[in-house]
Amino acid sequence: MSAIEVGDLLYEYEVKITRLTEYGVAFAPLAAGAAAPPPEGARFDVHFEGAATGPRLEGAVQGVDYLHIRADGRFALHIHAEITTADGHKISLHADGVALPQPGSPVAGLRENVTLFSSSSAYSWVNGLQVWGTGTVDLERQVVHIKGYAA
Protein backbone atom coordinates (compact mmCIF):
# COMPACT_ATOMS: atom_id res chain seq x y z
CA MET A 1 0.00 0.00 0.00
CA SER A 2 1.33 3.41 -0.91
CA ALA A 3 1.76 6.14 1.68
CA ILE A 4 -1.32 8.10 2.63
CA GLU A 5 -1.06 11.82 2.02
CA VAL A 6 -3.15 14.64 3.45
CA GLY A 7 -6.22 15.04 1.26
CA ASP A 8 -6.24 11.45 -0.02
CA LEU A 9 -9.72 9.99 -0.40
CA LEU A 10 -9.97 6.96 1.89
CA TYR A 11 -13.59 5.95 1.46
CA GLU A 12 -16.97 7.06 0.28
CA TYR A 13 -20.18 5.70 1.66
CA GLU A 14 -23.84 5.98 0.99
CA VAL A 15 -26.12 4.76 3.74
CA LYS A 16 -29.85 4.63 4.20
CA ILE A 17 -31.50 5.75 7.44
CA THR A 18 -33.14 2.58 8.74
CA ARG A 19 -34.67 3.73 12.02
CA LEU A 20 -35.22 6.92 13.96
CA THR A 21 -35.85 7.06 17.70
CA GLU A 22 -37.44 10.27 19.00
CA TYR A 23 -37.21 11.24 22.67
CA GLY A 24 -40.32 13.34 23.22
CA VAL A 25 -39.97 15.70 20.25
CA ALA A 26 -40.85 15.00 16.62
CA PHE A 27 -37.86 15.12 14.28
CA ALA A 28 -39.55 16.21 11.04
CA PRO A 29 -40.74 19.69 12.18
CA LEU A 30 -37.32 20.48 13.71
CA ALA A 31 -35.43 19.35 10.63
CA ALA A 32 -37.74 21.38 8.36
CA GLY A 33 -37.35 24.50 10.51
CA ALA A 34 -41.10 24.49 11.20
CA ALA A 35 -40.58 24.13 14.96
CA ALA A 36 -37.96 25.46 17.34
CA PRO A 37 -36.01 23.06 19.55
CA PRO A 38 -37.06 23.01 23.20
CA PRO A 39 -34.82 24.85 25.70
CA GLU A 40 -33.01 21.61 26.58
CA GLY A 41 -32.55 20.66 22.92
CA ALA A 42 -33.71 17.38 21.42
CA ARG A 43 -32.07 13.97 21.03
CA PHE A 44 -32.59 11.41 18.29
CA ASP A 45 -31.00 8.05 17.51
CA VAL A 46 -30.55 7.83 13.75
CA HIS A 47 -29.66 4.27 12.68
CA PHE A 48 -28.15 3.70 9.24
CA GLU A 49 -26.56 1.09 7.00
CA GLY A 50 -25.13 0.86 3.53
CA ALA A 51 -21.96 0.36 1.51
CA ALA A 52 -18.49 1.90 1.59
CA THR A 53 -16.34 2.11 -1.52
CA GLY A 54 -13.06 3.77 -2.16
CA PRO A 55 -9.41 3.44 -2.89
CA ARG A 56 -8.49 2.48 0.72
CA LEU A 57 -11.61 1.01 2.36
CA GLU A 58 -14.50 -1.02 0.98
CA GLY A 59 -17.25 -2.94 2.70
CA ALA A 60 -20.48 -2.58 4.64
CA VAL A 61 -21.21 0.28 7.05
CA GLN A 62 -23.73 0.29 9.86
CA GLY A 63 -24.14 2.47 12.89
CA VAL A 64 -26.06 5.11 14.76
CA ASP A 65 -25.84 8.87 15.05
CA TYR A 66 -26.84 10.08 18.53
CA LEU A 67 -28.00 13.37 17.05
CA HIS A 68 -28.50 16.35 19.36
CA ILE A 69 -30.36 19.36 18.04
CA ARG A 70 -29.35 22.11 20.41
CA ALA A 71 -31.64 24.90 21.61
CA ASP A 72 -29.72 27.30 19.35
CA GLY A 73 -30.58 25.11 16.34
CA ARG A 74 -27.16 23.51 15.84
CA PHE A 75 -27.37 19.88 14.67
CA ALA A 76 -24.54 18.16 16.59
CA LEU A 77 -23.47 14.74 15.30
CA HIS A 78 -22.18 11.94 17.54
CA ILE A 79 -21.67 8.89 15.33
CA HIS A 80 -20.66 5.35 16.27
CA ALA A 81 -20.38 2.88 13.41
CA GLU A 82 -18.54 -0.12 12.12
CA ILE A 83 -17.12 -0.86 8.73
CA THR A 84 -16.95 -4.55 7.86
CA THR A 85 -14.38 -4.66 5.10
CA ALA A 86 -14.85 -6.67 1.93
CA ASP A 87 -12.35 -9.21 3.33
CA GLY A 88 -14.23 -9.56 6.64
CA HIS A 89 -12.28 -7.31 9.02
CA LYS A 90 -13.93 -4.83 11.41
CA ILE A 91 -13.05 -1.15 11.68
CA SER A 92 -14.61 1.06 14.33
CA LEU A 93 -15.66 4.53 13.20
CA HIS A 94 -16.36 7.37 15.61
CA ALA A 95 -17.24 10.86 14.39
CA ASP A 96 -18.52 14.13 15.68
CA GLY A 97 -19.46 17.12 13.63
CA VAL A 98 -22.38 19.17 12.40
CA ALA A 99 -25.27 18.99 9.99
CA LEU A 100 -25.90 22.26 8.18
CA PRO A 101 -29.57 22.50 7.13
CA GLN A 102 -30.28 24.49 3.98
CA PRO A 103 -33.46 26.57 4.34
CA GLY A 104 -36.25 25.35 2.07
CA SER A 105 -34.38 22.16 1.17
CA PRO A 106 -34.52 18.61 2.56
CA VAL A 107 -30.73 18.41 2.06
CA ALA A 108 -28.27 19.33 4.81
CA GLY A 109 -24.51 19.55 4.49
CA LEU A 110 -22.40 17.37 6.78
CA ARG A 111 -18.96 18.03 8.24
CA GLU A 112 -17.38 15.28 10.32
CA ASN A 113 -14.23 14.78 12.36
CA VAL A 114 -13.61 11.01 12.14
CA THR A 115 -11.43 8.53 14.02
CA LEU A 116 -11.00 4.95 12.81
CA PHE A 117 -9.69 1.97 14.79
CA SER A 118 -8.93 -1.69 14.13
CA SER A 119 -6.85 -4.32 15.94
CA SER A 120 -6.60 -6.27 12.68
CA SER A 121 -3.01 -6.22 11.39
CA ALA A 122 -4.40 -5.78 7.86
CA TYR A 123 -6.07 -2.51 8.86
CA SER A 124 -4.01 -1.18 11.77
CA TRP A 125 -2.82 1.57 9.39
CA VAL A 126 -6.16 3.35 10.05
CA ASN A 127 -5.33 3.84 13.75
CA GLY A 128 -2.96 6.77 13.22
CA LEU A 129 -5.19 8.65 10.82
CA GLN A 130 -7.33 11.69 11.37
CA VAL A 131 -10.16 11.79 8.84
CA TRP A 132 -12.22 14.73 7.61
CA GLY A 133 -15.63 13.72 6.31
CA THR A 134 -17.80 15.88 4.12
CA GLY A 135 -21.11 15.14 2.48
CA THR A 136 -24.87 15.49 2.63
CA VAL A 137 -27.97 14.00 4.15
CA ASP A 138 -31.16 14.05 2.10
CA LEU A 139 -33.91 13.88 4.72
CA GLU A 140 -36.61 13.34 2.11
CA ARG A 141 -34.87 10.31 0.62
CA GLN A 142 -33.31 9.38 4.00
CA VAL A 143 -29.92 8.90 2.40
CA VAL A 144 -26.51 10.00 3.73
CA HIS A 145 -23.52 10.39 1.42
CA ILE A 146 -20.04 10.98 2.90
CA LYS A 147 -16.49 11.10 1.57
CA GLY A 148 -13.67 10.55 4.07
CA TYR A 149 -10.29 12.20 3.43
CA ALA A 150 -6.99 11.89 5.27
CA ALA A 151 -6.46 15.10 7.25
pLDDT tens for each residue of 69-102:
999 888 999 999 999 999 999 999 999 999 998 8
21: which residues sit within 8 A by CB, 6+ positions away?
44, 45, 47
CATH level 3 topology of 9-150 = Porin (2.40.160)
User: What is the average per-residue pLDDT within 5-18?
Assistant: 97
Do 45 and 34 touch, CB atoms closer than 8 A?
no
Q: What is the pLDDT of residue 101?
A: 87
pTM, full prediction: 0.93
Across 49-87, b (16+ Cβ under 10 Å) vs e yields bbebeeebbbbebebbbebebeeeeebbbebebebebee
Q: Distance between CA 14 and CA 35 in Å, rounded?
A: 28
Q: What is the pLDDT of residue 97?
A: 98
pLDDT tens for each residue of 18-39:
999 999 999 999 888 889 999 9
Map out the domains of the chain as residue ranges.
9-150
